[in-house]
């Protein structure tokens, strides 16, 4: 009789544990709208199962307490995995999705219908606010105005933003704007034409010839931005450059002639001429 009583008690224990674990799984599934409690049941089952296995290693596989912990943890783990595996998309849970009466119970428990109406109302209000903000484009642009943003708009040839920057007082003052256009340059030809139409220059700064570097300027751009005064300065620069080159050439030629009288010239002419440049 004793040998039969042990498996009977074990079966009764499994049935009772299965009922408790099933109830936990059902409760967690019903509470899906307010949180994912099934994952916590899964973690709890894993912890209990691990504790039971540790007891079994320490006290032996025949220990009733170790068996109880392992059985309860294993059943809770399996039931949680089943609920998670069959969980549908959304936040209603398995049972509420499959059975309407469970969904009704869930609605009564958590006032889901009222919450859904409130969410829909809030969503409509947010949509209205978004529409109002989108229509007020000037306000949105003012929030992000900066010279870096202006240059980025020029780089991407964003005409709407370029016009907005110019309308709000931003002006190009960089002398590099007067250089010949290069591909992928922020001040490319398309941007130049648009800014020319909008007269979006700070002519006082960009046409200050005292700050012009010794680079090769684009006469067409100079004429557009700085007018005749800018062209006259370019012509003066070109005249001075040619005069400097002529003087340098004359000086170099004179040096070469004088180098021929150097005694070393007969033996190492190339070396002697190096000093003439």
**pLDDT tens digits for 156-192?**
788 888 888 888 888 887 777 777 765 445 567 777 8
Q: Which residues of the chain have pLDDT under 50?
A: 1-6, 114-115, 117, 139-140, 142-143, 183-184
> In this predicted structure, what is the pLDDT of residue 5?
45
Closest CA to 195 of 229, 154, 236, 232: 154
Whether 166 contacts 195, CB under 8 Å: yes
Whether 138 contacts 164, CB under 8 Å: yes
Closest CA to 223 of 246, 196, 250: 196
Q: With 0.75 as the threshold, say if the pTM is over it.
A: no
> In this predicted structure, what is the pLDDT of residue 115?
47
Around Cβ 124, how many Cβ atoms within 10 Å?
10
Name the percent of the chain in helix, strand, coil, to the closest 5.
80, 0, 20
Report the alpha-carbon distance of residue 185 to residue 156 in Å, rounded: 10
Tokens 């001075």 belong to: 240
Q: What does the domain layout of the chain look like in residue ranges?
A: 2-98, 171-272
224-243 residue pLDDT tens: 888 888 888 888 888 888 88
């Amino acid at each position: 009789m004793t040998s039969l009583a042990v498996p009977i008690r074990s079966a009764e224990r499994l049935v009772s544990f299965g009922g408790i674990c099933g109830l936990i799984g059902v409760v967690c599934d019903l509470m899906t709208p307010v949180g994912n409690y099934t994952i916590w049941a899964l973690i709890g089952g894993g912890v209990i199962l691990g504790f039971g296995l540790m007891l079994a290693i320490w006290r032996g596989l025949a220990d009733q307490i170790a068996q109880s912990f392992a059985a309860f943890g294993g059943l809770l783990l399996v039931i949680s995995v089943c609920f998670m595996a069959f969980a549908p998309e959304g936040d209603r849970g398995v049972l509420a999705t499959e059975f309407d009466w469970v969904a009704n119970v869930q609605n009564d428990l958590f006032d889901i219908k009222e919450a859904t109406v409130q969410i829909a109302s809030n969503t409509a209000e947010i949509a209205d606010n978004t529409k109002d903000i989108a229509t007020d484009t000037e306000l949105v642009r003012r929030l992000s105005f900066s010279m870096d943003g202006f240059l980025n708009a020029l780089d991407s040839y964003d005409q709407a933003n370029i016009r907005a920057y110019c309308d709000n007082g931003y002006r190009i003052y960089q002398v590099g704007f007067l250089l010949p256009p290069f591909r992928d340059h922020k001040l490319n030809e398309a941007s130049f034409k648009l800014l020319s139409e909008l007269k979006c220059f700070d002519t006082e700064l960009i046409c200050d010839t005292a700050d012009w570097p010794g680079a090769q300027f684009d006469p067409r751009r100079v004429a557009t931005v700085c007018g005749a005064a800018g062209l006259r300065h370019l012509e003066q620069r070109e005249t001075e450059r040619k005069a400097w080159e002529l003087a340098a050439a004359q000086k170099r030629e004179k040096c070469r002639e004088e180098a021929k009288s150097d005694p070393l010239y007969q033996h190492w002419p190339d070396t002697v001429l190096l000093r003439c440049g």
